[in-house]
Amino acid sequence: MKFGFQTYQMILIMVIIFSQVNVSAQSYRKDSLQIKSYTLIEYRNNEVKEVQLLKVLCDYCTEFQKKIIGEEAKRRAFLERYDPKNRLKEGQKKLAIYIRIAKKDFAAIKEN
């Protein structure tokens, strides 16, 4: 089976594109932090009664940084409240919220 010049060009273009995607994904991981938070959404009569922050898992965060990250996790949980996979008629739904933040943005979270 013989391939034409255009086929080789297409293969070369695909290799270049996939290698660039891989490099950009690796740099994103190096330049950011991922922080895990646990939230709880309480449902009564198919309505959201309350959204609570349970815990922020961050060993290197100050209390102020945990507070700010917790507020963001609570906001994201609030946005997820009507997602069909999270919704309950009665009861409590626990969510793990992952927040990815650039290291320089994380370092900028300081109490004034």
pTM of the predicted model as reported, rounded to 2 decimal places: 0.70
**Contact residues for 43 (Cβ-Cβ < 8 A; gap 6+):** 49, 87, 88, 89, 90, 91, 92, 93
Three-state DSSP class for residue 44: strand
pLDDT value, residue 29: 65
Mind listing the pLDDT tens digit of every residue in the chain (112 residues)? 555 666 767 776 777 776 665 555 555 567 888 999 999 999 999 889 999 999 999 998 899 999 999 999 999 999 988 888 888 889 999 999 999 988 888 888 888 7
Three-state DSSP class for residue 42: strand
